[in-house]
Amino acid sequence: MITSSEPGSFPWAVLAERHPVLIQQVRDAFPLAPAQHAALDALLAEATEGVIGPLGADAHDRERWAAWGQGYFGRSWFDVPFLWAESYFYRKLLGALGHFTPGPWQGIDPFGPFKAAELAGKLVDEELAALDELAGQPADVQAPALLAGSLWGNRADLGFRIDSGGAHESTAAGSDSRLVTDESARLWALLPTGGAATVHLVADNAGRELIPDLVLVDHLLHSERAADVVLHVKPHPYYISDATMSDVIDSLRRLTHAPAAGYAAEIGRRLWAATAAGRLTVRAHEFFCAPFPYSAMPDALREQFAAATVTVLKGDLNYRRLVGDQLWPPTTPFAERTAYWPGPVAALRTLKSDVITGLDRDVLAALEASGEAWRTSGTHALVQVDARSR
């Protein structure tokens, strides 16, 4: 089980360095009141030097977290599972700002200004304009390009950029990026044209990741590889740039408001129509912000995934939750770790944390010999697919 107790390790740096920077960024981005600053001071002290405390007496989810955190309260944040500590940090950060409390700050996204700046930026303009090159191309040319766009879009993660200093601004496929495993042929085999598939896509980041995800969704629907798509997003702001329903709305608007003659706007209009026709549905189950691996998912969610032709999970955190946030031997078969999933499942992920499975022995040897921080730097990616039906 990965914890943050090893000074200098990746999870240690997230808790000791990334979280304090994030608190400061939120202070800088909002005109906070004294009580909110005081709550952030308390969170900063608790999460870096103190012990894990319960939620406040009036928190709507106090009981739930009391159960989820049994055995962790009173311990250092660095000594409990990394996945749990990060989730609880985001829960407490939202609480400190009044996100869940009836009043003027209820529902305010503390990461909204960062997401908005990214979405309005010229990189998105360029990425939308680049779609024009694909317009009119046959589906078999579009498919791999759009899958790569969605995959590498995962590198544009605002949390990740806190400590990479913006070094990973470009998400262009093939730049300095490498695939450590590519099982995309298995994914396409599950989605033949006219096959009336139902695809579930578990989204990760908003903005520059969600837009290429939506473009891929449009491709699946328009090329009739999928009859319908269910897009799963977070029920509340999480891990900085994780997508919520408002982010889906903003991204769809960004697409439809692209220059009218371009392909991006056409895609936006088609997606808008697909939502009205019930072919594209958005859901936001509470479990997507829970501090546990997907092996602990509730039955209601399990039933949804069981009905999918394939579920595609985006990003690093979803991968950690899919295979378990543990230091598996890297050659552990992916399908061994996903055997509990109720149907075919695929992971599209750039590597931004220590967890890895499903590597070929020779690929692993070459990566280890490279001396690069291949597990955490976001320069490498994977497409892994467990295509077995259950």
Ligand X SMILES: O=P(O)(O)OC[C@@]1(O)O[C@H](CO)[C@@H](O)[C@@H]1O
Q: Where is 314: in which H helix or E strand?
A: strand 310-314
Instruction: Closer to ligand X by CB, 316 or 386: give it.
Output: 316
Q: Contact with ligand X (CB under 6 A): which of 65, 90, 100, 239? A: 239
Helices marked H in 154-287 — which ranges? Answer: 158-164, 184-190, 210-222, 245-256, 263-276
Tell whether residue 3 is a contact of ligand X (CB under 6 A). Answer: no
- State the angle between helix axes of 112-120 and 19-29 in degrees (0 to 180), rounded to the nearest 10: 80
* 353 scored as a contact of ligand X (CB under 6 A): yes
Interaction of residue 65 with ligand X, rule CB under 6 A:
no
Name which of 205 and 338 has its Cβ closer to ligand X. Answer: 205
Exactly one of 2, 14, 187, 348 binds ligand X (CB under 6 A); that residue is 14
Of 117, 115, 54, 120, nearest in space to 88 by CA: 54
Half-sphere exposure (Cβ direction) of 346: Cα atoms closer than 13 Å: 28
CB 225 within 8 A of CB 193: yes
Q: Does 386 bind ligand X (CB under 6 A)?
A: no
Torsions phi, psi of 383, nearest 5? -125, 110
Site residues for ligand X, window 185-204 (CB under 6 A)? 204
What is the closest distance, in whole angstroms, from the C-beta atom of residue 239 to ligand X in the complex? 5
Inter-residue contact 334 to 358 (CB < 8 Å): yes
Distances (CA, A) of 197 to 230, 267, 270: 11, 20, 18
* Window 205-234: contact mask with ligand X (x via CB under 6 A): x-----------------------------
Query: DSSP secondary-structure letter at 286?
Result: G
| Segment contacting ligand X by CB under 6 A, of 61-69, 191-199, 301-309, 314-322 | 314-322
Region from 55-63, 71-79, 157-165, 181-189 binding ligand X, contact rule CB under 6 A: 157-165
SS3 call for 197: strand
By CB under 6 A, name the one of 86, 109, 218, 266 that touches ligand X.
86
Shortest spacing between CB 113 and ligand X, in angstroms: 18
Residue 316 sits in the site that holds ligand X (CB under 6 A): yes
* Chain positions contacting ligand X, by CB under 6 A: 14, 86, 154, 157, 159-160, 204-205, 239, 315-317, 320, 352-353
